[in-house]
Amino acid sequence: MKERIFETLRELRRFALEKGAAVTFFYHEEDSYLMRFANSAISLNTNEHLIRLEITAYDGRKRAAYEMITDLNQLDEMKKGVEKAIAMVEHAMPLTYEPSFPAYAETLVDENGYDLALAQLSNADKLAFFNSAVAGLETDEIKLSGIFSCGVNILAAGSTRSEHLLYTATSDAQVSIVLSHGTLKWEVQAEQSAWRKTDLKPEALRAELALLLEHYQHDTPQQIPLGKYDIVFGSAAIADMINFMNWIGFSGGMMKRGFSFMSEDKVGQKVFSEKVTLVDDPANLDTFPFKQDFMGLPRRRFPLFEKGVFKAFTWYQDDADEFAAQPTGHTVPHKSLVLEGGEGSSSLEALINAPRDKDILYIPFLHYMNIVNPSKGIITASSRFGALLLKADGSVVVPYNVRLTQSLLDIFGENVDWVSSETVPYNTSQSYGSRNPTAIVVPALMLVKDLEISHSNSSY
């Protein structure tokens, strides 16, 4: 298959050169499988195989792209797509800058993140995983729902400027399991990310679900008072906040457009807690990484924050062209973000059982997150379900939904008390558009002191 993809891209390159055109090719092939559960039964089991080809023609400051759903047997149709892109660029409005055109110095093939066992995972395997993860936890009132999404992603790129090609293949899985109470309408959730079959551990999900169920079934639910709390965030909440930081924090293009809470004079300054070290690490296979970006730049460990000090902005090639900046190897579908661990506890059970001198609010997930003010880094989100209030007297309360409206500068600032020693990948993949498996590696838990709750609901 790989050689056939290469052969196709080389033939398209020859065709474009015969037309005297400057053209790039971006090939995306996915095998996607989705098993969905609802009301303790399989509600959907589907799969699809898609090939997309994006053809971009360049003419000085003008650029035009044509994308098609195609097949490797449809070379003539692909050539028609090349002709369409070439015809379109004649009528394109010029940009205010001249976009860079990739020229690959060598052919790169990266299959390190591909696991055949995960790629060939059967329906029976997925069902067995779910059955193991919820064994003995379902009742007449407590029903199972969730998804098991897995697949294979192949990306390849070429251009008329070079005969060399880029090729990356990854396998991925995203599991989300929800147990909900039919009458009381609460739910608990656990998730897992994997790039290989051995990463799938249903027993870990079961332990997490069982612990939360124990408290949601037997502890008192209540509206908690407004005010400041020491909050322990779970890995999902941490990863989602980092994901927003990726957008409104260290993106050079967003900063230049006034949509970031970082500025150029912050480079080299301490803006977060010394316990915060965030890097882009393309060597971490848990993040479905790229060794080289799609402009041909090699990707290496890229520090963003080191012990709280802001190190650098990331620059996508097009933003670098527009703002006369130096690209940083980030012209990729997603980064490989890793928030390094510390010395704190990695176990929710240990946290619950540990003595404490004040209340601690545990929030595993942040739902409906959105931006309030990007220039100040203010986000807002809801705890919804899964949260626990660990009382100073050792008891546990199930809090109704609370809302957090805070700046990321404060959340990751000097009030960070500790982060877990253990890190875990949290899958942030979206189910819309082409398959783009994405995960952020974060500490299992993070304690931040004195964060204010702006709203507290009176019921589920």
Query: Residues 178-227: pLDDT tens digits?
Result: 999 999 999 999 999 999 999 999 999 999 999 999 999 999 999 999 99
> What SS3 state is found at 250?
coil
Rounded-to-integer distance, Cα 202 and Cα 329, Å: 36
pLDDT-above-90 percentage for the chain: 98
Which has the closest alpha carbon to 405: 378, 366, 423? 378
Confidence check: pLDDT of 459 > 90: no
Which has the closest alpha carbon to 55: 84, 15, 92? 84
Rounded-to-integer distance, Cα 251 and Cα 287, Å: 19
For the chain, what's the residue count?
Answer: 460
Q: Which run of H or E residues covers position 11?
A: helix 2-18
pLDDT at 49: 97
pLDDT interval class at 432 (50, 70, 90): confident
Q: Tell me phi and psi for residue 317, to 5 degrees.
A: -55, -45
Rounded-to-integer distance, Cα 395 and Cα 29, Å: 52
Strands (DSSP E) found in 39-102 = 41-59, 62-69
> What SS3 state is found at 281?
coil
Q: Which residue has the tokens 């977060």?
A: 272
Strands (DSSP E) found in 315-354 = 337-339
DSSP track, 81-94: HHHHHHHHHTTSPP
Rg of the chain over all Cα atoms, to the nearest angstrom: 24
> What SS3 state is found at 449?
strand
Confidence check: pLDDT of 283 > 90: yes
Region 328-346 average pLDDT:
97
Q: For residues 280-317, b (16+ Cβ closer than 10 Å) or e, as one string?
A: bbbebbbbbbbbbbbbbbebeebebbbebbbeebbbbb
Tokens of 1: 């298959």
Confidence check: pLDDT of 431 > 90: no
> What SS3 state is found at 256?
helix
Region 107-119 average pLDDT:
97
Rounded-to-integer distance, Cα 55 and Cα 181, Å: 50
User: What CATH architecture applies to the domain 2-195?
Assistant: 2-Layer Sandwich (3.30)
Rounded-to-integer distance, Cα 437 and Cα 145, Å: 22
DSSP conformation class of 164: E
Q: Within the chain, which residue ranges are assigned CATH 3.30.2290.10? A: 2-195
Q: Tell me phi and psi for residue 36, to 5 degrees.
A: -115, 140
pLDDT interval class at 460 (50, 70, 90): confident
- Residues in Cβ contact with 102 at an 8 Å cutoff, skipping those fewer than 6 apart: 24, 157, 159, 161, 162, 294, 295, 296
Which has the closest alpha carbon to 426: 239, 170, 254? 239
Question: What average pLDDT is seen over the chain?
Answer: 97
Q: Tell me phi and psi for residue 150, to 5 degrees.
A: -150, 165
Rounded-to-integer distance, Cα 339 and Cα 133, Å: 27
Amino acid identity of residue 338, one-letter, is: V
Q: How many CA atoms lie within 13 A of 162 on its CB side?
A: 15
